[in-house]
A = this chain, B = another copy of it.
Amino acid sequence: MDGFAVQAERTFGAGPDSPITLRIGREAWPVNTGRPMPPATDAVVIIENVNFQDDENFEIEQGVVPWQNVRRVGEDFVASEMILPGHHHITAYEMGALLAGGVLSVEVKEKPRVLLIPTGSELVAPEILVHGEPEPGKIVEYNTVILAGIVEAAGGIPVRHSIVQDQFEVVKQTILEGVRSDAHLIVINAGSSAGSEDFTAAAIRELGEVFVHGVAMMPGKPTILGMVEGKPVMGNPGFPVSAVLSFEVFGVPVLETMLGVSQDRRPSIVAHTARKVTSKLGREEFFRVKLGKVGERVVAAPLPRGAGSITTLTRADGIIRIPASSEGIEQAAAVSVELLRPAPQIERTVVIIGSHDLTLDVLADELIPYNVFLSSSHVGSLGGLMALKSRSAHLATSHLLDLETGVYNWSYIRKYIPDIPVKLFRGVTREQGFIVRKGNPKGITTFEDLLRDDVTFINRQAGAGTRVLLDYHLDRASLDPSGIKGYRMEEYTHTSVAVAVLSGVADAGMGVLSAARALGLDFIPVATEEYDLVIPEEYLADQKILTLLDVMRGASFKSRVMALGGYGVDRTGDELSEPAS
């Protein structure tokens, strides 16, 4: 402690009535916390108990006993005690413990180097594109960028090879050079399926041995595991999600073994599925899910399965593994979920299920500084109300028009979730219309035009508010939906409808302006509708829901929504009362 080092014996007997005077430099020496004790001293009088008489003397009214206020050598640890066990990841704290123990250097495991070889004549490396766009027909190679990040996180050193043409001899030669380099693990990305690029397995077989070609997991099936000249060589599928999962399941454990650690698997929590999930027998299926805590239960909403959708990984909060022996999971079943995000974040996530709108992205973005996260699943307005019924969501987004009264949402709420006390809040008003190709080449401007022979339509799924709106207008105009070519072709979001139009699958779809504008398509407005939030009263005391409503009412959210075009925010965040029936 800070104060004066003394011989304890010299202080015995000191008291308020019998102070003892000590002479600085002769009987007492100034010391500070952390300093070694001067010779022949064995206790410290702390500075607070010192009454200075002059520059050379001070008085004390309380004695000290030997070793009082002194940290003895070895209080923390002594020679031969183990500071850290082996196979231990050295963090900041451990660096301190080693230095405190006088250990200035330690032997550590060599970080394994992983050579990541992208193959594919159509690929172009992102580095050379920083100031431009890829040529037509070229695709930016990013799988090895993701894999490199995973290698680093697992404690390895990633080495990204330049892009290799998919020619057998080139692939084979590259593998051989890789094996003879200082790399410890060689990964060939893509070229592992059954097409013309399938040189990987053949090349490994010619150079060494293939142990496994094809695994019972999905995504990730076309994984190849082999060995060349004593080094592990892995063929990794081409679709990004397949590439990631295959490497996490088969590549990362190789690194863990090389590092001599059994790294900790992701923590798991128990969650309940928001909907039924089917899975094929005979393969382990990896579902990416969004998570949120609704009431006392954590709810898992499955994301799309597509192995090409890297966003199913970036958007995912966790992964559910459905074993090869299972055909799927019932709705609301309890399942184990491997967490991709910290559990506390899940607790701060608002689960939105219902109708899709681009403003939800803006809302998610605006909420993050408040430490609130959004998980939104797009299943249409009716699906949202059903999710409230099954307690799978904190709130539903809905724009369901009553065909008789022209009032939005209330009649559906009373019909489908009569037992759940809810309040309705205004989200936005928005223009709905026909999304058509640039310049409207087919001249589609009325609902009648949709029945023309030369017009193919792309519809939204049953239960979507946009589909209800379409049916409302068809009904008012006495038009028969069965006369519309493509009426049965369904997409689940506004943007998917716009993509169908852009790619020529359809000539027209119904959706919002922002979706059309985003893809440079034209938009023929037909109606303004109300897009609202249905919130069970029990969640209205929840701070994160209150924050969400506050943010929606704020100027920042509203101005960003207005900039998207086609929206109105006059009453955004206001509670809406039910009209007298």
Contact = CB atoms under 8 A, between A and B. Distances in A.
B311 A77 contact: yes
Main SS at interface, chain A? loop
Contacts of A148: 92
B92 A149 contact: yes
Contact of A194 (B47, B74, B342, B364): B47
Interface stretch (A12-20, A134-142, A467-475, A546-554): A134-142
Interface in A111-152: 120, 122, 126, 129-130, 133, 136-137, 139-140, 142-143, 145-150, 152
A418 interface: no
B97 A310 contact: yes
A519 B77 CA distance: 11
Given A264-B342, A371-B262, A92 B145 contact: yes
A196 B1 CA distance: 11
Nearest to A370: B262
A249 interface: no
Interface string A39-76: 00000000110000000000000000011000111111
B361 A85 contact: yes
B345 A310 contact: no
Contacts of A244: 93, 96
A306 interface: yes
A309 interface: yes
A96 B267 contact: no
A146 B365 contact: no
B371 A94 contact: no
B2 A499 contact: no
A120 B77 contact: no
A86 interface: yes
24 contacts: A1-B195, A35-B137, A36-B137, A48-B194, A71-B306, A71-B308, A72-B503, A74-B503, A75-B308, A76-B310, A78-B495, A78-B518, A80-B517, A80-B518, A87-B369, A91-B153, A92-B147, A95-B145, A95-B146, A96-B143, A99-B145, A100-B311, A104-B126, A267-B342
Given A1-B195, A34-B239, A88-B368, 16 more contacts: A47-B194, A66-B505, A74-B499, A75-B499, A76-B308, A80-B519, A83-B311, A85-B361, A92-B145, A92-B148, A92-B149, A94-B314, A96-B142, A96-B146, A99-B142, A104-B129
